[in-house]
Structures are given as C-alpha cells and as structure tokens.
Amino acid sequence: MKLSDKVTISAQVMARVVGDETVILDLASGTYYGLDMVGARMWQLMTEGQTLAQVCETMLAEYEVSSEDIERDVLALVQTLLEKQLVSADV
C-alpha cells in the first residue's frame, strides 16, 4: 500500500462506535475486532474515502505525534485490516 491509496470497507463488515472505541464484526467469519480511540479515528477517516495520506494529515492535526510515527501506524493498521479481509485496497 502507498499513502496515495484508499481502502474500501468489505461488504460483509459491520462497524459500530461503542463508547470511545469501534467494534467491527466480520459477518463472513463471525469474528469481532476492537479498535481503540486512535484506531477508531483512523478507521472513520479511511471509511470516509480519504487517501491514507489525507488520513495521516488529519491525524497529525489532532494528535501530538511525528509524521513518521503516524505514517507507520496508519500503514500498520491498514496492513492488519487487509490481512483480516476487513478492507480491500482501492488503488
């Protein structure tokens, strides 16, 4: 994945905001996943159709972290979501 890419949420995925977190259910496998507050915000931005670069830019404005850390964390989250087939790459 490149920062200029976007992701598309898989059709069988349900995501709900619960408190400060987001809980995801993969209907295909019946598996549940949890995203903490930071991950939930990244997920929300990705699902709004932003490129990964735009997600990083928004996160940088909201959190006091370096751009290298944000890029690493966003790409790591995307990689996990791809492996679990919760999203697909929209290159």
Q: Rule CB under 8 A: which residues touch other proteins?
A: 12, 14, 16, 18-21, 23, 25, 27-28, 30, 32, 34
- Closest separation between CB of residue 38 and other proteins, Å? 14
Q: Which is nearer to other proteins, 47 or 51 (CB)?
A: 47
Q: Please tell me the distance from the alpha carbon of residue 20 to that of residue 85, in angstroms, as a whole number.
A: 24
- Closest separation between CB of residue 53 and other proteins, Å? 29
Contact 52, 78 (CB under 8 A): yes
Question: What 3-state class would DSSP assign to 87?
Answer: strand
Q: Please tell me the distance from the alpha carbon of residue 25 to that of residue 9, in angstroms, as a whole number.
A: 12
- Closest separation between CB of residue 59 and other proteins, Å? 20
Tracing tokens 């989250």 back to the chain, one arrives at: 77
Q: Which is nearer to other proteins, 34 or 49 (CB)?
A: 34
